[in-house]
């Protein structure tokens, strides 16, 4: 290898310097069967886990690093059987495997709305739609690669892509990076089984405070892991939003509505004094939260407009400049522009003329309009997304804002055309689904291509790998969504899996096409978002906290607090070591908890739709409360013990 670590030019290029890839001058295997199979398998596992997490908490995590780490472990096991591997094979595996998280994000932001509307989409329909959106996202990013990844090297950092490259390079030297992921998976699966499988411990610790206010925290390893990954600042902001809902808004609504003699819209049956805190949240607070989330997404989008315009302009210039640019260097080979145009054209033709993919309107003109809108919005937001993630990373990519903008534009056109019935709403949602997945996968593709550029991979092979990852993970993600809707109590949008982002997208479409939203509640949420922005609070994080139950946000906060306590007053090197180990452990918690949730759903199907009760003990409420608190402490304790302990190298 060129050295033990990446050179300084991997991060910054000074005048007169030239970057040399890590594997320059070597001939290494890259797109192999074992790399492909490993990537597909890991993509399926983390795609299923991210699906569960997204439906529960409204967010997903980037899986590039956990997939890269587990790939290295799998390849080392194979080495014991005489099967050797290269760093480029490991990179190909993570390229294929990480695509699933972007597909999951796009699906979770939109598709559950169909089930909440009471529709019953076929697995084939939503899978084909997810594939089309993902393929468009990968293909549309191809012409931008040479400019964004190569020419802007040293100026666009692509943080996740560089972090993944560092992990793969470090793995070449040995080490025990993967141990944290495996510990996290084990702990996550164990506690998920205890709480949701055997139901030995109730899922939430709650203390009532009067006036229908309460403090609660979910017994959820994945949420604690997410909190550690996010850090104390964002986790605290989200918890503050949850506290505002649980401790201020719900008691205020209860106090204000105490004297009402008629139900307050949108509730049509119960009086506010007769409603529980959960019912008040469901009928009123979630609309306030939706207004806040929409405001956060739109504000994020507005702040990104200068970057978007510049990215779009530069992207167009780059495409025009290289329509037929030829190269003989392996590390600079892309899929040809003609191939990209041909496949995008085929996908749009399929969406237009094949019934049953774009909604439920049996009309070629309607599907043609929808396809054109997908092409326009996807082309713009793919360009935007690919550059934005280079600056701020995948986790800060305003995908929800892009989706809201797409749905607002699509719904407005549909309203003007008179397509306002339920099939029209479903078609508008399908447009948003395709664009959301395209923008999300474009960001992931950009990060993966950055990793490949630094290591010396072949861009064309990575682009093919991304296409493989989209095709193989889309069906699994959609199947998990359908499975959870059928088996989880209350279905999607219920208390257990609130699917917050998808509910928000549904509200956007309903609001434009039906014009019957409780605008007073939504405007309160808008005001909350604007006030948060005025005080320089991260609006989207705070708004998600307002929208989701406090128990979810409190679990996130505990994870962020644990990271703060373990890394403060430490040397920079030790703090970074604990941060990295904790993030890998937290990723494992997400993977283990999410995977177990999916497995429990499968078991419910096997048991003919009956929910698992198992060995649920007949204990009094106070005993279950104590067990819940002890379980939370055990999760935090195990995580802290693993992160703090030192290894003998």
Kindly report whether the peptide bond that precedes residue 266 is cis, defined as omega within 30 degrees of 0: yes
CB 582 within 8 A of CB 565: no
Of residues 477 and 156, the one with the higher pLDDT is: 477
Q: 237 pLDDT exceeds 80?
A: yes
For the ranges 45-54, 221-230, 591-600, the lowest mean pLDDT is seen at: 591-600
Q: What pLDDT shows up at residue 62?
A: 67
DSSP assignment of 150-166 equals: IITTTTS--HHHHHHHH
Angle made by CA atoms 96, 102, 108, in degrees to the nearest 5: 135
For residue 575, the tally of other CB atoms under 10 A from its CB is 15
**Three-class SS of residue 356?**
coil
How many helical (H) and strand (E) elements, i.e. helices and strands, does the chain have?
Answer: 25, 2
Q: Are 414 and 424 in contact (CB under 8 A)?
A: yes
What does the pLDDT look like over 285-307, one tens digit per residue?
877 887 887 787 677 667 766 76
Q: pTM of whole model > 0.75? A: no
In 3D space, the residue among 634, 495, 551, 630 whose CA is nearest the CA of residue 206 turns out to be 551
Of residues 178 and 337, which shows the higher confidence score? Answer: 337
- Burial-class residue 176 by CB neighbours within 10 Å (0-12, 13-18, 19+): exposed
* Mean pLDDT calculated for residue range 211-231: 82
Read out DSSP for 41-74?
A: HHHHHHHHHHHHHHHHHS-----HHHHHHHHHHH
| Tens-digit pLDDT profile for residues 309-322 | 665 666 566 566 65
> Residue 239's closest CA among 210, 212, 205, 216?
216
- Given pLDDT bands bounded at 50, 70 and 90, which one contains residue 347? very high
- Closest residue by Cα to residue 466 from 335, 374, 342, 357: 335
Q: How far is CA 132 from CA 127, 145, 504, in A?
A: 9, 20, 23
Confidence of residue 46 (pLDDT cuts 50, 70, 90): confident
Q: What is the pLDDT of residue 69?
A: 74
Provide the percentage of residues in the chain whose pLDDT is more than 90: 20
At 68 the pLDDT is: 78
> Quick check: 294 and 526 in contact, CB under 8 A?
yes
User: Which of the residue ranges 7-11, 71-75, 170-174, 419-423 would you say has the lowest mean pLDDT?
Assistant: 170-174
**What is the pLDDT at residue 457?**
92
Q: Which of 77-81, 89-93, 466-470, 558-562 has the lowest mean pLDDT?
A: 77-81
- Closest listed residue to residue 491, CA positions, set 402, 603, 601, 632: 601
Mean per-residue pLDDT, 453-469: 93
Question: Between 592 and 327, whose confidence is greater?
Answer: 592
Selected residue with higher pLDDT from 228 and 203: 228
pLDDT, residue 612, reads 40
pLDDT in tens, 6-19: 777 777 777 777 88
Coil/strand/helix, residue 209: strand
Reported as a single tens digit per residue, the pLDDT across 486-535 is: 887 778 887 778 887 788 788 888 888 887 778 788 889 889 989 998 99
pLDDT of residue 322: 56
Q: Residue 648 has what pLDDT?
A: 46
Predicted local confidence at residue 264, as pLDDT: 83
Does residue 171 have a pLDDT over 50?
yes
pLDDT digits (tens, 9 = 90+) for 487-497: 877 788 877 78
Express each pLDDT in 407-441 by its tens digit.
Answer: 888 888 988 888 888 888 989 999 999 999 998 99
pLDDT at residue 608, as a whole number: 42
Do residues 591 and 67 lie in contact, with contact meaning Cβ atoms separated by under 8 Å?
Answer: no
> What does pLDDT average to over the chain?
81
In the predicted structure, residue 619 carries a pLDDT above the cut 90: no
Do the Cβ atoms of 618 and 544 come closer than 8 Å?
A: no
* Close Cβ partners of 2 (under 8 Å, ≥ 6 residues apart): 20, 22, 23, 24
More confident residue, 584 or 480: 480
* Burial environment of residue 606 by CB neighbours within 10 A (0 to 12, 13 to 18, 19 or more): exposed
DSSP β-bridge partners for residue 208: 214
Q: Is the pLDDT of residue 140 over 80?
A: yes
More confident residue, 597 or 175: 597
More confident residue, 374 or 200: 374
* 492: β partners: 497
Environment class of 33 (CB within 10 Å of its CB; exposed 0-12, middle 13-18, buried 19+): exposed
CA distances from 118 to 112, 373, 628 (A): 10, 26, 34
Average pLDDT over residues 547-552: 80
Q: For residues 57 and 213, give the distance between their C-alpha atoms in angstroms, rounded to a whole number.
A: 21
Task: Decide which of 515 and 568 is more confident.
Answer: 568
Does residue 49 contact residue 484 with C-beta atoms inside 8 Å?
no
Ranges of each domain in the chain: 25-177+304-324+333-487
First vs last Cα of the chain: how many Å apart? 22
Query: Do 604 and 597 touch, CB atoms closer than 8 A?
Result: no
Average pLDDT over residues 600-623: 56
- The conformation of residue 611, written as its DSSP 8-state character, comes to P
> CB of 54 within 8 A of CB of 108?
yes
Of 181, 91, 78, the residue nearest 450 (C-alpha): 91
Q: What is the pLDDT of residue 649?
A: 42
pLDDT tens column, 253-274: 999 888 888 888 777 788 888 8
Distance separating alpha carbons of residues 37 and 41, to the nearest angstrom: 6
């Amino acid at each position: 290898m060129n050295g033990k670590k990446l050179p300084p030019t991997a991060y910054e290029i000074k005048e007169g310097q030239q970057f040399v890839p890590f594997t320059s001058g070597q001939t290494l295997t890259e797109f192999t069967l074992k790399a492909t199979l490993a990537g597909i398998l890991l993509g399926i596992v983390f795609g299923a886990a991210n699906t569960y997490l997204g439906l529960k908490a409204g967010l997903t995590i980037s899986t590039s690093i956990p997939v890269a780490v587990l790939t290295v472990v799998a390849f080392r096991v194979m080495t014991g059987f005489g099967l050797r591997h290269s760093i480029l094979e490991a990179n190909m595996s993570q390229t294929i495997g990480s695509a699933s998280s972007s597909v999951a994000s796009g699906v979770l932001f939109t598709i559950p709305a169909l089930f909440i509307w009471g529709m019953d989409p076929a697995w084939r329909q939503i899978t084909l739609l997810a594939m089309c959106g993902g393929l468009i996202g990968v293909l549309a990013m191809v012409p931008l690669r040479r400019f964004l990844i190569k020419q802007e090297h040293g100026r666009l950092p692509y943080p996740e892509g560089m972090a993944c490259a560092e992990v793969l390079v470090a793995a070449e030297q040995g080490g025990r990076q993967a141990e944290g992921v495996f510990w996290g998976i084990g702990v996550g699966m164990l506690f998920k089984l205890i709480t949701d499988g055997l139901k030995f411990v109730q899922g939430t610790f709650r203390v009532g405070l009067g006036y229908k206010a309460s403090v609660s925290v979910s017994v959820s390893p994945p949420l604690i892991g997410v909190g550690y990954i996010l850090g104390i600042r964002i986790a605290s902001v989200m918890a503050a939003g949850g506290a505002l809902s649980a401790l201020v808004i719900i008691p205020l609504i209860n106090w204000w509505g105490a004297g009402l003699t008629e139900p307050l819209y949108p509730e049509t049956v119960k009086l506010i004094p007769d409603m529980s805190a959960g019912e008040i949240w469901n009928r009123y607070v979630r609309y306030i939260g939706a207004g806040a989330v929409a405001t956060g997404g739109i504000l994020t989008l507005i702040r990104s407009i200068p970057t978007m315009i510049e990215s779009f302009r530069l992207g167009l210039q780059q495409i025009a400049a290289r329509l037929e640019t030829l190269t003989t260097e392996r590390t600079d080979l892309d899929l040809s522009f003609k191939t990209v145009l041909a496949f995008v054209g085929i996908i749009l033709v399929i969406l237009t003329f094949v019934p049953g993919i774009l909604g439920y309107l049996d009309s070629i003109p309607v599907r043609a309009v929808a396809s054109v809108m997908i092409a326009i919005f996807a082309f713009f937001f793919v360009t935007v997304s690919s550059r934005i993630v280079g600056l701020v990373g995948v986790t800060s990519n305003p995908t929800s804002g892009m989706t809201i903008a797409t749905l607002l534009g699509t719904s407005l056109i549909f309203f003007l055309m008179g397509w306002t019935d339920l099939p029209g709403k479903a078609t508008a949602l399908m447009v948003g689904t395709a664009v959301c997945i395209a923008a999300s996968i474009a960001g992931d593709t950009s990060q993966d291509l950055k990793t490949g550029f630094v290591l010396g991979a072949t861009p064309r092979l990575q682009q093919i790998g991304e296409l493989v990852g989209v095709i193989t993970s889309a069906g699994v993600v959609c199947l998990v969504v359908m499975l959870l809707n059928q088996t989880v109590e209350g279905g999607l949008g219920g208390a257990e899996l609130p699917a917050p982002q998808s509910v928000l997208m549904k509200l956007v479409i309903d609001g434009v096409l039906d014009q019957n939203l409780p605008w007073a509640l939504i405007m309160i949420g808008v005001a909350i978002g604007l006030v948060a922005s005025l005080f320089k609070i991260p609006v989207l994080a705070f708004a998600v906290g307002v929208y989701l139950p406090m128990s979810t946000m409190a679990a996130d906060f505990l994870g962020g607090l644990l990271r703060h306590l373990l890394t403060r007053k430490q040397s920079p090197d030790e703090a970074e070591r604990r941060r990295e180990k904790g993030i890998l452990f937290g990723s494992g918690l997400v993977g283990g908890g999410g995977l177990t949730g999916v497995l429990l759903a499968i078991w419910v199907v096997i048991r003919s739709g009956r929910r698992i009760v198992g060995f649920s003990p007949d204990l009094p409420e106070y005993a279950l409360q104590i067990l819940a608190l002890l379980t939370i402490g055990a999760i935090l304790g195990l995580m802290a013990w693993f992160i703090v302990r030192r290894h003998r190298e």
